[in-house]
Structure 1
Amino acid sequence: MHNEPTALIVIDMQQCMQSPAAGVRNNPEAEQNIHTLLHAWRDAGGPVVHVRHMSRSPTSLFSPGQPGAAFQPALAPLDDEYVVEKNVPDAFIHTGLERWLHVRGIRQLVIVGVSTNNSVEASARTAGNLGFRTVVVSDATFAFGQKDYAGVPRSADEVHAMSLANLNGEYASIMATADALNLL
């Protein structure tokens, strides 16, 4: 694993994710953990991909031209880092991400960002299905509270934990920031 490049994929770390309008979330330390991973990857010269959601809905917090669609300054891409723009949750759909990774011989991915049960889970499922060795970093991702299909309110921690459980083993390995740093 250590002799080949491992890409850090940073999903949807846009300004609107810091807005109270986004909802009640978990993992308040996620941004710091993403920052730690991002700088470790940069220091090691590892490949970094930033994914940005650009909604087709003009009322979305992610709508192009809205301040919320911009990257969070502390996690913004450098000029030499690859940026993927998507308009569905999955970073692989209608983007050049898979080809970009294959051209560079990248077969292992470390995924961080938001939200665990939406764009992170969708992208990790596809990555796993495409044969990438995929890691989702549990403390560098976060989710928002929501009602389940039966109408029962679920906390952000519950939504996050269930999403990680959905991914674990079949699509991805789940690990904490400290362990993910060892993949460099």
Structure 2
Amino acid sequence: MDIAEIADNAALVVVDVQKGFEDLAFWGSRNHPGADDNIASLIDVWQASGRPVVFVRHDSVKPESPLWPGQEGNAFKEYVQARRGKGGAGAELLVTKSVNSAFYGSPDLDAWLRGAGISQVVVVGIQTNLCVETTARMGGNLGYDVVVPFDATYTFDLEGPFGWRLSADEVARASAVSLHGDGFARVVTTKEVVDAAG
């Protein structure tokens, strides 16, 4: 399937676009400074066309996390919150989760999508290599046609085993290569999705 084909009922899954991710003292350096604008533009396109939007919120189980429920960082970023409920005829769902995959949240995302006859999902948000990637991989495993607009995601520098440290750009590229190269999702640009969905 070519990127030119965005289904009329494709769901936009907006993953963890929360205020807590603005705390760079906690997370470190990020990439994709234009990601928030791209996410906003995709929400606008989806809502204007009456397509369904799923807003996913991470409720951390770690008290030290900026995403811990009951504090300001758990809330959606203002531009996302301002767009909730503005979809007109388009269906809208709020999923809350405490793990990486939006498919392991509440309510059951897979059941909701299948109940609505939706087979294509466009996944955006934070972090590219964690909740976006895990949601995309699981969506692919479940048989959905998954599209990830790469520049509508972002992540942070990360340290792994053996003292290896990758910049946010390197982490994001590795994530995109794994998703796209192994067939879990089609990794594309926001412009390609906007042009196809218009």
Instruction: Provide the aligned C-alpha RMSD in A.
Output: 1.4
Q: Structure 2 CA distance, aligned partners of 1:114 and 1:49?
A: 14
Q: Structure 2 CA distance, aligned partners of 1:44 and 1:139?
A: 21
Offset, 1:3: 5.2
Q: Structure 2 CA distance, aligned partners of 1:183 and 1:106?
A: 17
Q: Structure 1 CA distance, aligned partners of 2:6 and 2:100?
A: 29
Question: Which residue number corresponds to residue 191 of structure 2?
Answer: 178
Equivalent residue of 2:42, what SS? Answer: helix
Q: Aligned pair in 2 of structure 1 residues 32, 50: CA closer, same or farther (>3 Å)?
A: same
2:53 pairs with 1:57:
no
Tell me the amino acid that sits aligned with residue 88 of structure 1: V
Tell me the amino acid that sits aligned with residue 106 of structure 1: I
Equivalent residue of 1:182, what SS? Answer: helix
Range with greater deviation from structure 2 (148-157 or 134-143): 148-157
Question: Which residue number corresponds to residue 5 of structure 1?
Answer: 9
Q: Show CA shifts across 1:150-179 (max 9, x none).
A: 212211000000011110042000000011
Kindly indicate which of the two structures has a greater share of residues assigned to helix: 2
Offset, 1:13: 0.2
Tell me the amino acid that sits aligned with residue 186 of structure 2: S
Question: Which residue number corresponds to residue 36 of structure 1?
Answer: 41
The structure 2 residue matched to 1:16, chosen from 12, 16, 20, is 20
Q: Structure 2 CA distance, aligned partners of 1:72 and 1:137?
A: 19
Equivalent residue of 2:103, what SS? Answer: coil
Question: Which residue number corresponds to residue 150 of structure 1?
Answer: 162
Contact 2:30 2:154 in 1 (8 A): yes
Note the residue ranges of structure 2 that are not aligned, 5 or more in a row: 86-90
Q: Structure 2 CA distance, aligned partners of 1:130 and 1:4?
A: 20
Offset, 1:183: 3.8
Question: Which residue number corresponds to residue 111 of structure 2?
Answer: 99
Q: Structure 1 CA distance, aligned partners of 2:80 and 2:97?
A: 18
What TM-score, normalized to structure 2?
0.88
Range with greater deviation from structure 2 (3-12 or 84-93): 3-12
Structure 1 ranges of 4+ moved more than 4 A: 1-4
What TM-score, normalized to structure 1?
0.95
Offset, 1:22: 2.2
Equivalent residue of 1:71, what SS? Answer: coil
Range with greater deviation from structure 2 (43-52 or 13-22): 13-22
Q: Structure 2 CA distance, aligned partners of 1:154 and 1:8?
A: 29
Contact 1:11 1:51 in 2 (8 A): yes
Q: Aligned pair in 2 of structure 1 residues 130, 63: CA closer, same or farther (>3 Å)?
A: same
Q: Number of aligned residue pairs: give it.
A: 184
Q: Structure 1 CA distance, aligned partners of 2:6 and 2:64?
A: 44
Offset, 1:182: 3.3
